[in-house]
């Protein structure tokens, strides 16, 4: 009877920047679950590396946490998610999809900062012209139906998403992305027949 050689648990060689990014990515769910109490053993297990590997690319645990938070706050993936929304979709559905992605992002930010004992805060607006341009492209087919420019639509939708994602407010409002999108697009007025538009 033959036996297979034991599998090596040694992490495969990887450039330092890639290793740092992989460790930071694996750390984020642990931060949400454990906050500062997360251990380097937990981080190493999640990242699939030896514990000593962590300290070959990071100075200490706090540096790992800082890198994970910085990676999470990177607006690139969020902007890419907005770009993947099809501009040819109906206006209300597009607004719903935008709200859904914004709610997810804000809720994640609130969760991470709450776990770390910090005050929740919105992500910094790095190059706001970039996301306004995304809205302009997304809403281009609907310009004739809008009373305000896409930049104002973005500001309004972002404000609603931020408030709705707040842990002590959003869950009690009973309004999800579909209901919020309906209010954004149609407002609170009755239609011409005197009845509220159907959801």
Q: Are 27 and 47 in contact (CB under 8 A)?
A: yes
Please indicate, yes or no, whether residues 68 and 78 belong to a single structural domain of this protein.
no
Please indicate, yes or no, whether residues 46 and 118 belong to a single structural domain of this protein.
no
Q: Do the domain assignments include residue 151?
A: yes
Please indicate, yes or no, whether residues 63 and 88 belong to a single structural domain of this protein.
no
Two tokens at 144? 């004739």
- Cα angle 21, 26, 31; round to 5: 115
Q: Do the domain assignments include residue 2?
A: no
The pTM (predicted TM-score) of the whole model is 0.77
Please indicate, yes or no, whether residues 40 and 118 belong to a single structural domain of this protein.
no
Domain residue limits at 55:
16-72
Q: Do the domain assignments include residue 62?
A: yes
Give residue-wise pLDDT tens across range 114-157: 888 865 555 555 678 999 999 999 999 999 999 999 999 999 99
Give residue-wise pLDDT tens across range 34-72: 998 999 999 999 999 999 999 999 999 999 999 999 898
Please indicate, yes or no, whether residues 127 and 148 belong to a single structural domain of this protein.
yes
Q: Tokens 């694996």 correspond to what residue?
A: 26
At which of 39, 56, 72 does a domain end?
Answer: 72
Structural domains in the chain (count): 2
Q: Do the domain assignments include residue 195?
A: no
- CATH code of 63's domain: 1.10.10.60
Please indicate, yes or no, whether residues 50 and 88 belong to a single structural domain of this protein.
no
């Amino acid at each position: 009877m033959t036996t297979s050689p034991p599998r090596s648990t040694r992490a495969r060689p990887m450039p330092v920047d890639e290793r740092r990014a992989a460790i930071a990515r694996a750390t984020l769910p642990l931060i949400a679950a454990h906050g500062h109490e997360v251990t380097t053993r937990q981080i190493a297990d999640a990242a699939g590396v030896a514990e000593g590997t962590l300290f070959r690319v990071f100075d200490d645990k706090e540096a790992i946490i800082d890198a994970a938070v910085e990676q999470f706050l990177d607006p690139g993936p969020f902007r890419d998610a907005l770009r993947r929304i099809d501009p040819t979709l109906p206006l209300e559905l597009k607004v719903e999809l935008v709200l859904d992605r914004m709610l997810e992002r804000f809720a994640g930010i609130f969760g991470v900062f709450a776990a770390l004992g910090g005050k929740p805060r919105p992500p910094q607006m790095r190059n706001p012209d970039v996301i306004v341009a995304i809205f302009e492209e997304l809403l281009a087919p609907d310009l004739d139906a809008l009373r305000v420019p896409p930049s104002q639509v973005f500001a309004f939708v972002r404000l609603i998403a931020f408030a709705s994602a707040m842990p002590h407010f959003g869950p009690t409002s009973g309004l999800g992305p579909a209901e919020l999108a309906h209010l954004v697009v149609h407002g609170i007025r009755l239609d011409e027949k005197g009845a509220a538009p159907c959801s």
